[in-house]
Amino acid sequence: MTDHKPWCWEATPSGPDWIFIAHVSPASAADLAQAAAAVVPQGYAFCPRDAAPCRYHQQVCSYVTFVDTSNVEAYRMNLRGDATQKNIWIYNIIEVHRDVIEIECGYGGRGEEYNRAETAWLLAVLTTPGIVLRDWKVVAGGEGYDYKTIREGSGIDDLRRYIT
Ligand SMILES: [Zn+2]
């Protein structure tokens, strides 16, 4: 198995949050939901979540969501709107809805082994037959810092080159 750099390798001096955003072709969306749910990244747990109105797509979206295992309870409580729950600061979340994949590491997330698991998951999902990656980008910022694009590219070959 080829070793890859973690997707956020170039984002590490920036932040505090690191985000990976990718779009697949609209025709790939159904396959994406299936492929995304098929493999749970190492260190993560699947978080069932009801379909909900989505600001990004301006309609109700179904989600496939994974959260790092130490934050699963906090995340579920936040979904339930439990006001006694404190904010989640350091976390890793993967979210798929329609044609979008988002990976977010709050305050850099929980460590490089998580980023490697995310990258392995990403490659497995994006190389599933029927899924066409259109564009992707690595963004860093948040908590008062401007979001800046660290790198952007198109297609799976471009992404593979970036993390090789
Ligand atoms: Zn959506």
85 CA distance to ligand 1 middle (Å): 25
Rounded CA gap, 145 and 135, in Å?
A: 24
- Tell me the two tokens of residue 55: 């600001």
54 CA distance to ligand 1 middle (Å): 5
65 CA distance to ligand 1 middle (Å): 12
Per-residue pLDDT for 45 more than 90? yes
Identify the residue with better confidence: 94 or 1. Answer: 94
58 CA distance to ligand 1 middle (Å): 7
Per-residue pLDDT for 44 more than 70? yes
Residue 145 has a CB neighbour count (10 Å cut-off) of 12
Per-residue pLDDT for 48 more than 80? yes
Q: Please, is 164 exposed, middle or buried when counting C-beta atoms within 10 Å of its C-beta (0-12, 13-18, 19+)? A: exposed
Per-residue pLDDT for 66 more than 70? yes
> Residue 123's pLDDT band (boundaries 50, 70, 90)?
very high
Per-residue pLDDT for 76 more than 90? no
103 CA distance to ligand 1 middle (Å): 14
66 CA distance to ligand 1 middle (Å): 16
100 CA distance to ligand 1 middle (Å): 7
Mean pLDDT of the chain: 93
Rounded CA gap, 78 and 85, in Å?
A: 7
pLDDT digit string, tens, across residues 82-96: 656 556 789 999 999
pLDDT in the model for residue 158: 97
Closest CA to 36 of 104, 115, 128: 128
Domain ranges of the chain: 17-163
63 CA distance to ligand 1 middle (Å): 8
- Tell me the two tokens of residue 98: 């329609």
pTM for the full predicted model: 0.94
29 CA distance to ligand 1 middle (Å): 11
3-state secondary structure at position 84: coil
Note the Cα 133 to chain centre separation in Å. Answer: 14
- Tell me the two tokens of residue 150: 């660290």
For the residues 107-120, what does the mean pLDDT come to?
A: 96
117 CA distance to ligand 1 middle (Å): 24
Rounded CA gap, 119 and 104, in Å?
A: 12
